[in-house]
A and B are shown apart, each in its own frame.
Chain A
Amino acid sequence: MEPIIEVENLTVVYNLGKTNEFTALANNSLSIYKGEYIIIFGPSGCGKSTLLYSMAGLQKPTNGKIKVANRILSELSPKELVKFHQDVTGMIFQAYYLIPSLSVLDNVCLSLIFKNIKVKERSQRAKELLKQFGIEQCTYRLPLSLSGGQQQRVAIVRALMTDPPIIFADEPVGNLDSKSAEVTMELLDELNKKYNKTIILVTHDPSYLSKADRIFHMRDGRIERVAVNESGKKIAPMSKESPVSDILSSLAQRYPTSSEIELKSKALVNWLVTVLDEPRIARIEEIIKKRIKGEYTQDTLHENLNLSFEKGGAGLYAQRATEFTKKIEFVLMEAGNLHKTIKPTVSMTEDDLKAVEIRKTLLDRYHGELTLDQINRLDRFIRLRIENMINRAQFLKYLDLPFKAGGVGLNHRTAHNFTNLIEIILINI
């Protein structure tokens, strides 16, 4: 399936060449597919709105290419760009931007006026939509006489008048009370699920993240990571380069403002830890974060895990500190080995080789014996997991399933251990 939006190496620099030059977006690439509900999430100033407006054709890139609905935006003439906005995009802004001197009806009909649609036809369409969104009683009123929630609903109707396939929404509920915000978000949800509109929404509020199919987490002008909502629609093909770890996705939903390194650290701690108190867990996370970043060596890692809590360490007994260090180093080493350049051959692709390496790692820790056919089948499922063709739960199921039923036929405990280990290795690659 071709994406409806493709962004390649997008950079936007404001005030280029001047003393107040500012890079709002730095070399970002992404693909969005028809019918997806995408949320662009991050702190203020991270470039979310710049990215949104760039895709909507309202912000010119400094570098890079943007293709929307088969149109390369930089190649459009001014007239073609207008047509693009009329036919392809619907915009919803935080501040509504309704024209205060025009009635609600005239506000929503504006786009069709410029398309030379006759009065009767555009009025009929407007009234149908206003009714559908529960604000037909506002048809002839001026915008400022409406509540914030009503105004935003008018803005949504305006965005839909030309029946665009893509809706761009920049903090659409930022100015609304919680009830109106809920109604607005439900409307957007309906547009996506019932009318198959592609929704791209910018927000800094983590409470809405569960609405999206995918979330682009941004920080400092870059898309830091892309999280897949496990309960969302799976329209986008899974990335071959970075398999989505279910552990990382579910952690990202619980800690949406955490960076990727913080999430990896949490995942490692969860894997290691049985019963530890919260402050100690937080301390271990901090220590592991420094190891992942390379600020600590293996020895410093061990030292700090063992150092007393009062002195800034994790306060683990020496034996436990050694055990944790070994396990952390093992995962990071295996992930590092897999990250090294693996030269694909004619018969074995890079993913094949990764699967073989991971299988070797798993079997080295497994003292049982698998038959040749079990090894072959295990490789196949590992490759499917690396390529994200199966998720974590499916991988576990296949490892556990008897061989004759199409699985690998591992015992239940080994299947669980293998699954957890492969997930931890994959998120650290």
Chain B
Amino acid sequence: MAKVVVDAMAMQRALTRITYEIIERNKGVDDLVILGIKTRGVYLARRIASRLQQLENVTVPVGDLDITPYRDDIEHDADSAEPEVTAANIDFSVEGKKVILVDDVLYTGRTIRAAMSAIMDLGRPKSINLAVLVDRGHRELPIRADFVGKNIPSSQHERIRVSVSEIDDRDAVEIQQA
């Protein structure tokens, strides 16, 4: 049984709030770049960028980070390989920029650690902030999000599924009992 914990309206609101919080925290949008972690983080990153464009009439560069081979939100055993994150579709420099890293679900933190390494390989950003739609807990690394859409305390036996209308049939966050 899947239970919807964030519906389409709530997801829109969460992204809107995160956008305003990004403006608050960064005192504007100067030197901002947004990097979305594939797959759904990319679409969330684009939505945040389009909101910034609407509000500030500024085009914030958006890039993608590709992740292989495992998904953070799928149950995995402790021996599984560390995720590898590689830059994809980043046609701008991150040197000296304020990077907003965007992912759908924050879980163990291993994806984010790998993503930060990938970003560092590209250059030396001024800062990296993390925005996630869902923080489900169970961190294995000392990583926390700066902008959180919704905290969903979860059991490790549960699955959190984020759907985005761009590639799924709707916007929603669901919890599934394993």
Q: Do A and B come from one complex?
A: no
